[in-house]
Structure 1
Amino acid sequence: MMMRDAAQTLGNLIDKQTICIISSIDEEGFPNTKAMLAPRKRDGIKTFYLTTNTSSVRVSQYRKNPKAGLYFFDKRFFRGVLFKGTMEVLEDAKSKEMIWREGDTMYYPLGVTDPDYCVLRFTASSGRYYSNFKSENFSIDE
């Protein structure tokens, strides 16, 4: 095992990134990948919260098939981490208020209650970390 403390090692990598890559599965079973702003909130390396438009292609794909990938990379040190898991679309007021930030009206003009604003909650089940030209798989502890 290369990582002594996966939560700390990966948490440090994740917290320094401004972008993450998300993947969904389309109707034909192909992966669809997209760059997004980094998650607004994370609980360890198990749960991540992102904002997006309810009307987006990604949301409709996650509703049909919740299987998802989340990838973070540090280009300077050429290392990255892929998480496999599931994505839920949350539209309840509590979730939306939890990660709302001042300035979000630029994307969601009607504010925190904008019907085109929703929260994506990614729950990781396993992952793969790449660093120093080596990879290792890891599981996510409950």
Structure 2
Amino acid sequence: MRDAEQTIGNLIDKQGVSFISSVDENGWPCTKAMLPPRRRLGIETFYFTTNTSSMRVSQYRQNPKACIYFCDRRFFRGVMLTGTMEVLTDSASKEMIWRDGDTMYYPGGVTDPDYCVLKFTASQGRFYSSFKSENFDIPAYTGEAE
């Protein structure tokens, strides 16, 4: 793959669903479908919204190891990124990705205690396309938010 950031970024931006994985208290992987990330910085950092009271938040607080996956069903391509997930509850992070209409999920607004941000930082990647898989390094993000 010539330009991992461009190839993977384009794949991610076209998906309406993302999958996030955590590790439960017994060491088993747990995967959940989610809306796409609200913000991404290259293919290194991703921001998602979720409920503070969710099982996933509890798991990430106990073990930050995480994985996110994006799949292009039309061309049967996918990318897995492994790294760590942080649970952010500070006002700046919450305001950064808040959108009109989020009160449907968080009736208390941007300050709702059940609203938090998941920040994923990738450390490794694996891309599948044309019946082959390849590992790739995560380029450090140097540009503006996408």
TM-score (norm 1): 0.98
The 5 Å alignment of 1:1-142 reads 3-142=1-140
The aligned amino acid for 1:94 is A
What secondary structure, in the 3-state scheme, does the structure 2 residue paired with 1:124 have?
strand
Structure 1 runs of 4+ aligned residues shifted over 6 Å read: none
Percent identity over the alignment?
A: 74
How far, CA to CA, are the matches of 2:25 and 2:7 in structure 1?
A: 35
SS of residue in 1 equivalent to 2:126: strand
Which amino acid in the other structure matches residue 85 of structure 2?
A: M
Q: Give how far 1:87 is off.
A: 0.1
- In structure 1, the partner of 2:143 is none
Letter in 1 for 2:74: R
Whether the aligned pair in 1 keeps the contact of 2:125 and 2:138 (CA below 8 Å) is yes
Structure 1 residues without counterparts, runs of 5 or longer: none
* CA distance in 1: counterparts of 2:16 and 2:98, whole angstroms: 17
Q: CA deviation at 1:139?
A: 1.3
Question: Residue type of the partner of 1:51?
Answer: T
Instruction: Quote how far apart the aligned CAs of 1:141 are.
Output: 2.6
Q: Distance in 2 between matches of 1:39 and 1:15?
A: 9
- Match for 1:18: what amino acid? G
After superposition, the C-alpha distances for 1:55-90 in whole angstroms (9 at most, x for unaligned) are 000000000000000000000000000000000000
Find the aligned partners of 1:18 and 1:89 in 2 and give their Cα distance.
22
Question: Any gaps of 5 or more consecutive residues in structure 2?
Answer: 141-146
Q: Which residue of structure 1 lines up, in the alignment, with residue 144 of structure 2?
A: none
Give the partner amino acid of 2:90.
D
Instruction: Tell me the SS of whatever aligns to 2:110.
Output: helix
Distance in 1 (alpha carbons) for counterparts of 2:40 and 2:102: 19
